[in-house]
């Protein structure tokens, strides 16, 4: 039997027999690792340890010490939920039950459930875990699988679509329960140390609102009770930080059904923050040599057909008829930027050409998937597109990555990086995709950045480097991206004159520093819990006169001494204590308190939202500090730091 070679995380090669599984490879490395193997990550995809390996596969062995183990455990918890539900409600019809970043869910139908029912289901889940049932994988012939699901049209649809080409199907059994599933799973139900069913919602089959409405039950699971306890505490904190709640309390934004779903309205406070974000991004772009451009909100669909968006994105586009011509609201800005580039001649000396635009785009998400600012119909991308020579790719991407990491550092966010590879729905040849993925991988390897692989998550026109934000609670949010595109320049027949006086095709790089303003704004609201840094805060200073006698002094401070900051005066006839409480609830970074003594000595008292206070402060000293805090974009108000 011939051998194949798989690539281990450290870049070393391991020879294993042709037909070897993930578990076999683990035993080749060592008997202890083989015994501890739970699953594997092959080419970025989490798979069962029995999965067969192929020559050239990237392989990571998953044990109970791996980050991926929690995903495996939660997948098994989803099966325990389904088994418990069917013990209590044999009529329940199962659809799908994957793991998620925070736990798992299972979509079911043919059964009425409410939150009160979950307590009984949890009790039955406890019993199943106590039984410590072996979880065993078996392969079932297609005809037998179809027979098993004679009365379940959802599972039959999976068999006839996603698994259409498979003669044998993977099932997992535990006790009397079995489920069509690719896995992976833990060895037995007893490995689930702690779990909790969290809530119930409705969901459309396949996420399509034209399909049947299902009941979705969310849960989570951990290896230990202490981990579950920490998660539930964090979840309660997350509720307090929810951007929809804070958005209303702090008057940042609203979404009104009368204006349309997924169409946010930004109030003055929210717009002030967005303007600061836009100014910051603009300066980064100008410093990096980008030129500003602007494109309209819609184009004739001929442009979208030319770019490939019509074929690959038409279901997510808003289309309209104008004088018997079809137009589409733009889902992306790149075709407009490619058209601008195409409208003049370029020499190799002119490249790279860099454009940037805060471009409003529109995507027709399913209404059931819309959620605050995280999923909307209308959003703004801080978009940038570069047209470069092939020899400039690595330097340009490295500069982009530097700018993206500066954004992370400025806001105190941690980055998680991944290379997203070719999706099923894509344009371009295998050779072009292989070249693009190889170049992005080389940039990441040379940079020393730790990154994962997101198999099949690339854009339809090219692979990308995705940066995810990790916030103060450790949650991960989609963020900036860098995309390498050989396809759109070909579709638009873009060219430049090379040093050899021949026509050459540029490479197009798509990049965003925030991702979208909406998603980034959401992350910041929750990350800072509404307590924005001074430079970003919609109201930076609130002046609190102790009585009406100090209103004149307060107005002088606002207009003459602090006129270039965002300052308000609290002039309502309240006690000083109430004024302070109101300012703290509004998360204003600084309060200036002025009474008779301050007015007489022409000084101020300064209080911050951490409830620290200093008296007899010189106006110029405080002003100089505010200027420095704004210029340096410090994360926390620090005038009163010891």
Q: Are residues 440 and 330 in the same domain?
A: yes
Q: Give pTM, 2 decimals.
A: 0.81
Q: Are residues 495 and 615 in the same domain?
A: no
Q: Are residues 55 and 89 in the same domain?
A: no
Whether residue 222 lies inside any domain: the answer is yes
The CATH number of whichever domain residue 546 belongs to comes to 3.40.50.800
Number of separate domains in the chain: 4
Q: Are residues 332 and 410 in the same domain?
A: yes
Q: Are residues 402 and 493 in the same domain?
A: yes
pLDDT above 70 (res 606): yes
| Domain end residue (candidates: 13, 39, 62) | 62
User: Average pLDDT in the 145-164 region?
Assistant: 89
Q: Which pLDDT does position 328 carry in this prediction? A: 92
pLDDT above 70 (res 641): yes
- How does pLDDT run across 370-398, given as a tens digit for each residue? 788 988 999 999 999 999 999 999 899 99
Whether residue 280 lies inside any domain: the answer is no
Q: Which pLDDT does position 372 carry in this prediction? A: 87
Residue that has been written with the tokens 């409830």 in this structure: 611
Whether residue 29 lies inside any domain: the answer is yes
pLDDT above 60 (res 488): yes
**Contact criterion met (CB below 8 Å) for 617 and 602:** no
Q: Are residues 612 and 473 in the same domain?
A: no
> Which residue segment(s) compose the domain that 585 sits in?
541-631
Q: Are residues 123 and 108 in the same domain?
A: yes
**181 in a known ligand binding site:** no
For the purposes of burial, counting CB atoms within 10 Å of the CB of 114, is it exposed (0-12), middle (13-18) or buried (19 or more)? exposed
Q: Are residues 579 and 627 in the same domain?
A: yes
Q: Which pLDDT does position 642 carry in this prediction? A: 57
**504 in a known ligand binding site:** no
The CATH number of whichever domain residue 298 belongs to comes to 3.30.930.10
- How does pLDDT run across 305-355, given as a tens digit for each residue? 998 888 877 888 999 999 899 999 999 999 999 999 999 999 999 999 999
**Contact criterion met (CB below 8 Å) for 514 and 407:** yes
Whether residue 258 lies inside any domain: the answer is no
Q: Are residues 100 and 188 in the same domain?
A: yes
| Number of residues that this document lists for the chain | 642
| Domain end residue (candidates: 17, 33, 62) | 62
| Domain end residue (candidates: 523, 551, 581) | 523
The CATH number of whichever domain residue 21 belongs to comes to 3.10.20.30
**510 in a known ligand binding site:** yes
Q: Are residues 402 and 509 in the same domain?
A: yes
Q: Are residues 335 and 215 in the same domain?
A: no
**How far is 471 from 237, CA to CA, in rounded Å?**
13
Q: Are residues 382 and 488 in the same domain?
A: yes
Nearest-5° angle of CA 209, CA 98, CA 171?
Answer: 115
Tell me the β-bridge partners of 174.
177
User: Average pLDDT in the 200-229 region?
Assistant: 92
Whether residue 81 lies inside any domain: the answer is yes
Whether residue 139 lies inside any domain: the answer is yes
């Amino acid at each position: 039997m011939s051998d194949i070679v798989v690539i281990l995380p450290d870049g070393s090669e391991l020879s294993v027999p042709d037909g070897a599984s993930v578990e076999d490879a683990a035993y080749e490395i060592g008997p202890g690792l083989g015994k501890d193997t739970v699953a594997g990550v092959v080419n970025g995809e989490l798979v069962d340890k029995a999965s067969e390996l192929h020559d050239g596969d990237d392989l990571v062995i998953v044990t109970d010490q791996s980050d991926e183990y929690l995903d495996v455990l939660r997948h098994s918890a989803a099966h325990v939920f389904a088994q418990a539900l069917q013990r209590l409600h044999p009529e329940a019809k199962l659809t799908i039950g994957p793991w998620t970043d925070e736990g798992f869910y299972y979509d079911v139908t043919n059964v009425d459930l409410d939150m009160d029912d979950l307590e009984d289901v949890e009790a039955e889940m406890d019993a199943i875990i106590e039984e410590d049932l072996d979880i065993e994988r078996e392969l079932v012939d297609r005809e037998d699988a179809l027979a098993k699901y004679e009365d379940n049209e959802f599972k039959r649809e999976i068999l006839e679509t996603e698994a259409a080409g498979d003669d044998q199907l993977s099932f997992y059994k535990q006790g009397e329960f079995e489920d069509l599933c690719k896995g992976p799973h833990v060895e037995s139900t007893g490995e689930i140390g702690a779990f909790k069913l969290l809530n119930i919602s409705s969901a459309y089959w396949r996420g399509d609102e034209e399909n049947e409405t299902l009941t979705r039950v969310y849960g989570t699971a951990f290896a230990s009770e202490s981990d579950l306890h920490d998660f539930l505490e964090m979840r309660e904190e997350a509720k307090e930080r929810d951007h929809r709640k804070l958005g209303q309390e702090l008057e940042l934004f609203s979404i009104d059904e009368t204006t349309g779903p997924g169409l946010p309205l930004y109030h003055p406070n929210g717009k002030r923050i967005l303007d600061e974000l836009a100014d910051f991004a603009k300066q980064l772009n100008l410093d990096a040599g980008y030129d500003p451009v602007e494109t309209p909100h819609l184009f004739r669909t001929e442009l979208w057909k030319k770019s490939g968006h019509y074929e690959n994105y038409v279901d997510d586009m808003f289309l309209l008829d104008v004088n018997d011509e079809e137009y589409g609201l733009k889902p992306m800005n790149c075709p407009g930027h490619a058209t601008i580039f195409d409208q003049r001649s370029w020499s190799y000396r002119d490249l790279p050409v860099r454009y940037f635009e805060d471009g409003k785009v529109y995507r027709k998400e399913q209404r059931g998937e819309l959620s605050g600012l995280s999923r909307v119909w209308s959003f703004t991308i801080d978009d940038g597109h570069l047209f470069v020579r092939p020899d400039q790719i690595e330097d340009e991407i490295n500069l982009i990555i530097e700018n993206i990491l500066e954004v992370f550092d400025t806001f105190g966010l941690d980055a998680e990086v991944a290379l997203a590879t070719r999706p099923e729905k894509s344009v371009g040849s295998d050779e072009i995709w292989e070249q693009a993925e190889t170049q992005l991988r080389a940039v990441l390897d040379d940079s020393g950045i730790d990154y994962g692989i997101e198999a099949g998550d690339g854009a339809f026109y090219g692979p990308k480097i995705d940066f995810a934000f990790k916030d103060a609670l450790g949650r991960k949010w989609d963020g900036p991206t860098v995309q390498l595109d050989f396809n759109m320049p070909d579709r638009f027949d873009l060219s430049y004159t090379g040093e050899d006086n021949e026509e050459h095709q540029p490479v197009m790089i798509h990049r965003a520093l925030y991702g979208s303003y909406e998603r980034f704004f959401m992350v910041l609201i929750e990350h800072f819990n509404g307590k924005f840094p001074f430079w970003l805060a919609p109201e930076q200073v609130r002046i609190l006169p102790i009585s009406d006698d100090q209103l004149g002094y307060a107005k002088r401070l606002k207009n003459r001494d602090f006129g270039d900051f965002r300052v308000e005066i609290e002039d309502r006839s309240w006690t000083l204590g109430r004024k302070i409480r109101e300012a703290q609830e509004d998360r204003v970074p600084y309060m200036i308190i002025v009474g008779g003594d301050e007015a007489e000595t022409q000084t101020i008292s300064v209080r911050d939202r951490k409830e620290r206070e200093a008296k007899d402060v010189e106006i110029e000293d405080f002003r100089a500090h505010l200027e420095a805090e704004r210029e340096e974009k410090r994360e926390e108000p620090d005038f009163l730091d010891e």
